[in-house]
Amino acid sequence: MSNSKNPESLTDRSDAMISRRRFLSGTATGAAGVAVLHKTVADITIDPTKQQGAPPAALGERSPFEKPARKVISNILSTTPLQDLHGTITPADLHFERHHGGIPLIDPDKYKLIIHGMVERPLKFSLDELKRFPAITRSCFIECSGNTGEYFRADRKNTPQTLRGLTSQSEWTGVKLSTLFREAGISSRASWFLAEGNDAAVMTRSIPVEKAWDDALVAYAQNGEPLRPAQGYPVRLLLPGWEGNTSIKWLRRLELGEQPFMTREETSKYSEPLPDGRIRQFSFEMEANSVITSPAYPEKIEPGWLEVRGLAWSGSGKIVKVEVSTDAGQNWSVAELQEPVLAKSHTRFRYLWNWQGKPAVIMSRAVDQTGYIQPTHEALRDERGLGAPYHLNSIVGWEVRADGLVYFDVKSWA
Amino acid sequence: MSNSKNPESLTDRSDAMISRRRFLSGTATGAAGVAVLHKTVADITIDPTKQQGAPPAALGERSPFEKPARKVISNILSTTPLQDLHGTITPADLHFERHHGGIPLIDPDKYKLIIHGMVERPLKFSLDELKRFPAITRSCFIECSGNTGEYFRADRKNTPQTLRGLTSQSEWTGVKLSTLFREAGISSRASWFLAEGNDAAVMTRSIPVEKAWDDALVAYAQNGEPLRPAQGYPVRLLLPGWEGNTSIKWLRRLELGEQPFMTREETSKYSEPLPDGRIRQFSFEMEANSVITSPAYPEKIEPGWLEVRGLAWSGSGKIVKVEVSTDAGQNWSVAELQEPVLAKSHTRFRYLWNWQGKPAVIMSRAVDQTGYIQPTHEALRDERGLGAPYHLNSIVGWEVRADGLVYFDVKSWA
C-alpha cells in the first residue's frame, strides 16, 4: 500500500525555511543548572530505536535541548518568556516575579492567617484549616501594574518577554475570602480590609470589602500543586484581574476597617498623577492588554502564509475580540480566539497573514466584555499623562523589515 | 478599630484538628534531589520580616517543605500523586509515565515526521514546519488503559496514586492531524493509519482515520512549554479520550492504509478476552471513571463537616454528573462539579459530608454526556470477564473506620 518507504523519495520542506531555534538560541539566557536527562547531548548520535531509553523517575525533567528561563531584570523583578510559551498556562517555575523584600521561606506547619479588626470573632487559621473549607479552582492571569513600565526601554531589540513579560497565567485553588469573612462575622460597617504579607517588606495593601464578595480567593495551590515560594507559599491573596501587588503573597493578616489604611504602597507607589494634577489612586483593575508573541524580535520570517500569534487579557472580564493590523494600525482584522475563553485569563489569539515580503508593522488590540478597547499610546498619554510607570497597556507594534527581520516598533511607543 | 492585635486573644482552631501533613509525611516517597531554595530549612527560625528573602531566579523551585513525587512502579511505569494535587492540571514533571522502551533523547533540530502510504504527496516535516501550521490548544486527560490494572493489588493500603494514578491532565498545543493529512492528500480509500514512535520499542498502533477528522493532534507543547521527554519530546500523537498507548510518543511516522496494520500491541496486548470467548479489540475509548482523592488512605478524619473531593473523567466527552455515596453504594447524592467542565478532561468534584464518627464506605461514580454510568465491579465483571488488565473503570470505595482512619475498601474490588 505504500511506495514511499525510501526517505529520499519524500518531499523535504525544511531546507528553504528559517530555523526559529537558530535565531532564538542567540538570546537564550542559559538557565544554569538544568540537568541533562540521564543521558548527555553527546549521546544523541545513537539511534534511539537501537538502545533502551531512560527509566521512569520520581520527577520529570525538561529536555536538555530546552532551556526556558525568566529574565532577571533586577533583585526585585523577573519576567516570563512569553515568546517561548504555547497555549495559555505559564509553567510555575516561569511565572514572573516581583518581590518587595525577596522570597521568604515559611514553614507550612507553623503558618497562621489572622483575621481581625471589625469582626465578631477574630480568628486564626492554620494551613490545614484553610484546606478544609470548600475549595475553588479557577484560571486567571496575574499582571504586575508595572508591566511595560519603569524597567522598560523602548529599544528595537525588545522581545515579548522584555516588553510584556510581567504577566503570567495559572490555575489557582483556594478558599473564597468571603467564606472566611463570614466565618469571622465581619461588621456591616467594614468596607475596607488590610492585607499584610509575611516578607521582609511586610507588604501591605488596602482592599475594598466588595472584592471579597466578588471573586477574591485565599489561594494555596497553583497549576495543580502547592504555590511556589516566589508566588507566596504557602498562602497568598488572589484578587483576579487586579494589579498584581494587591494579591499579597505570604499572606499573614487581614484586618477589617471602615476606610483605606493608607499604606506606603498606595501613596509612594501604585498611584498615578494625571495631566490635570489630580492623582489616580486605588487603580486596581488591569485594563485590557495584548501582545503578539510571534513573529517578534529576534525572529526572521519568510514571505508566504504564517500565523500571527499572541495573548490578550483583561482584568474586567472576558476578551471578546482581538484585532490584528499589519499596516501600523490603519486597518484591523479580527483574529481567532482560542476556546475556552475564560474571564480575567490569558486568551490565545491567532491570525493567518500572507506576508508579501514588504516592510510592515504588525499590531494587536484587545476588546473586553465591557466594550473597552485597548488604546493607542497617544490616546493613553492624552488621558493619563504617563507620569507613573503603571497601567501602561497601550497598543504596541513589531516592525517587519523587507529582509524578514522583526524588531520592536519604537514609534508605537512614542 | 481593632482590639485584637494580641495573638493570644485570638481563637485558635488548630489544636483539635488533625494535621494532614503529619499523616501524609509518613508516606512521602522522598523525591531525592529537590533542592533547597537558597536557604535551608534550618534557617526557618528567623522571622521572615526581619531579613531580606531570596532574589529572583531564572527558574523557580518548589518549597523545600513540598516533595511531590511520582511513584515508580517498575522500569516501565510511574504514577501521578493524585492525592497531592489541587484543581485539574497535573504539573508536567508529575505526569504519569508508561514507556515500552524507555525515554529516548531526541535532537529537535534533526526531528522529522514522515507521512506516507496511501497519500498523493508523501511528506516529511521538521519541527519548525509543524509549528508554522495553525495551532490548536486544548486541555484533556491521558489515561493508561491499564489504570487500576496489572500492577494493581486490592490492598487496603492503596492510596489514590496507587489506585488510579495512571491518569494525568494537561493543556496541549499542536497542529490538527487533519491539517497534515490534507497537506499530504490522503486517499479517499485510506481508512486506517499506522503511528510509529522513535523509541527502543518502536511503539506502533493502528488508528482509524476518522479520529484524525475528529480531534487528533500532533502535539509539541504541554502546559505551556515544549513536551517533556517522558511525554514524547519533541512531538507526540494526541488522541483525546483514547487509551494512552495510542497517543504515540516520539512520533516519527504515519502510514495511511486500508486496514489495521495488526501490530503486536493490538494482539499480544491492548485487547480484552470476553466471557463468551470473543476478543474485544481496538477498544480505544476510555470509559467514564472517577476517584475520591480525599479523604483517602492514609488520612485520618475527625467527625464533623468535611469536603469529599475527587476527579472524574470520560473519554466520551464531558462529565455531566458525579454522585457520592457514604454508605457503600446504597444511596447516592449529587456532587458539585468545578467549572469549566471540559470534554475529555479531569473534572474536579466536591461533596460536603457531615461525618458522624461511625464506620462508613465512601464511593464516587461518574456519568458522562452519553448517559454512560460508571459501573460497579460486579457489573463490569459480568460484562467483560476481567480477563485482561485494561479498561477497569469500576466504582471503588474508601472505608472510613470509627476511629477516623481511612483505608481502601477491598470489598469494592471483589
Non-local CB neighbours of B267 within 8 Å, separated by 6+ positions: none
Q: Quick one: what percent of chain A has pLDDT higher than 90?
A: 83
Q: How far apart are the first and last CA of chain A?
A: 62
Non-local CB neighbours of A23 within 8 Å, separated by 6+ positions: A298, A299, A300
- For chain B, the residue count is 414
Across the interface, which of A199, A224, A231 has its CB nearest the CB of B87? A224
Give the mean model confidence (pLDDT) for residues B155-178.
Answer: 98
Q: How deeply is B1 buried, as exposed, middle or buried, from its count of CB atoms within 10 A (0-12, 13-18, 19+)?
A: middle
For residue B12, name the pLDDT band (cuts at 50, 70, 90). very low
Q: How deeply is A278 buried, as exposed, middle or buried, from its count of CB atoms within 10 A (0-12, 13-18, 19+)?
A: exposed
Q: Give CA A257 to chain center in angstroms.
A: 31
Question: Within 13 A of A395's CA, how many CA atoms are on the CB side?
Answer: 25
Distance CA A292, CA A364 (A): 7
Q: Are A10 and B124 within 8 A, CB to CB?
A: yes
Across the interface, which of B31, B65, B92 has its CB nearest the CB of A107? B65
Distance CA B75, CA B97 (A): 10
- Whether residue B224 and residue A90 make contact (CB cut-off 8 A), yes or no, is yes
For residue B16, name the pLDDT band (cuts at 50, 70, 90). very low
For residue B269, name the pLDDT band (cuts at 50, 70, 90). confident
Side chain identity at residue A42, one-letter code = A
Phi/psi at A174 (nearest 5 deg)? -175, -160
For residue B268, name the pLDDT band (cuts at 50, 70, 90). confident
Give the mean model confidence (pLDDT) for residues A315-340.
Answer: 97
Non-local CB neighbours of A25 within 8 Å, separated by 6+ positions: none
pLDDT reported for residue B133 = 94
Across the interface, which of A93, A104, A133 has its CB nearest the CB of B60? A93
Phi/psi at A312 (nearest 5 deg)? -130, 155
Chain A hits for B101, Cβ within 8 Å: 49, 52-53
Q: How does pLDDT run across B367-377, given as a tens digit for each residue?
A: 999 999 999 99
Give the residue on B whose Cα is nearest the Cα of A8: B124
- Whether residue A53 and residue B99 make contact (CB cut-off 8 A), yes or no, is yes
Q: How deeply is B383 buried, as exposed, middle or buried, from its count of CB atoms within 10 A (0-12, 13-18, 19+)?
A: exposed
The alpha-carbon gap from A38 to the nearest alpha carbon of chain B, in Å, equals 9
Classify the C-alpha dihedral B3-B7-B12-B14 as positive or negative.
positive
Classify the C-alpha dihedral B260-B263-B264-B266 as positive or negative.
negative
The count of other CB atoms within 10 Å of the CB of residue B150 is 12
Give the mean model confidence (pLDDT) for residues A215-228.
Answer: 98
Chain A hits for B13, Cβ within 8 Å: 123-126, 129
Chain A hits for B55, Cβ within 8 Å: 72, 75, 99, 102-103
Give the mean model confidence (pLDDT) for residues A210-233.
Answer: 98
Q: Give CA A190 to chain center in angstroms.
A: 32
pLDDT reported for residue B18 = 29
DSSP string, A150-215: TT----TT--HHHHH-SEEEEEEEEEEHHHHHHHHTB-TT--EEEEEESSTT--EEEEETHHHHHT
The answer, yes or no, to whether residue A350 has pLDDT greater than 80, is: yes
Chain B hits for A349, Cβ within 8 Å: none
The alpha-carbon gap from A158 to the nearest alpha carbon of chain B, in Å, equals 18
Place of cell 479517499: B188
Across the interface, which of A48, A57, A73 has its CB nearest the CB of B199? A48
The answer, yes or no, to whether residue B248 has pLDDT greater than 80, is: yes
The alpha-carbon gap from B311 to the nearest alpha carbon of chain A, in Å, equals 12
* Residue A221 bridge partners (DSSP): A173, A226
Lowest mean pLDDT among A21-35, A69-83, A158-172, B197-211: A21-35
Non-local CB neighbours of B343 within 8 Å, separated by 6+ positions: B140, B240, B241, B317, B318, B369
Across the interface, which of A88, A91, A122 has its CB nearest the CB of B4? A122
Distance CA A82, CA A168 (A): 9
B14: cell is: 488548630
- Whether residue A220 and residue B86 make contact (CB cut-off 8 A), yes or no, is yes
Q: Would you call B231 helix, strand, or coil by DSSP?
A: helix
Across the interface, which of B44, B103, B171 has its CB nearest the CB of A107? B44
**Nearest Cα to Cα of residue A116 among A11, A257, A234:** A257
Distance CA A82, CA A29 (A): 14
> What domains are defined for chain A?
1-69 (no CATH), 98-280 (3.90.420.10), 289-413 (2.60.40.650)
Q: Residue ranges of the alpha helices (H) in B16-147?
A: 20-25, 127-132
Mean predicted lDDT score pLDDT of chain B: 90
In whole angstroms, how far apart are CA B248 and each of A49, B233, B236, B243?
14, 11, 6, 10
Edge to edge, the sheet with strand B360-368 lists B333-334, B319-325, B360-368, B397-400, B406-408
Global ipTM = 0.89
For residue B43, name the pLDDT band (cuts at 50, 70, 90). low
Give the mean model confidence (pLDDT) for residues B356-367.
Answer: 98
Phi/psi at A294 (nearest 5 deg)? -160, 135
- Whether residue A97 and residue B133 make contact (CB cut-off 8 A), yes or no, is no
Q: Quick one: what percent of chain B has pLDDT higher than 90?
A: 83
The CA dihedral of B234, B240, B243, B244, to the nearest 10 degrees, is 20
Distance CA B131, CA B137 (A): 12
Give the strand pairing for A360-368 and A347-355.
unpaired
Q: What is the pTM of this model?
A: 0.90
For A102, the enclosing helix (H) or strand (E) is none
Mutate to test the interface with B, among A9, A44, A65, A119 (most CBs of B within 10 A): A65
Phi/psi at A300 (nearest 5 deg)? -130, 130
Annotate B294-323 with three-state secondary structure: ECCCCCECCCEEEEEEEEEECCCCCEEEEE
Give the residue on A whose Cα is nearest the Cα of B342: A340
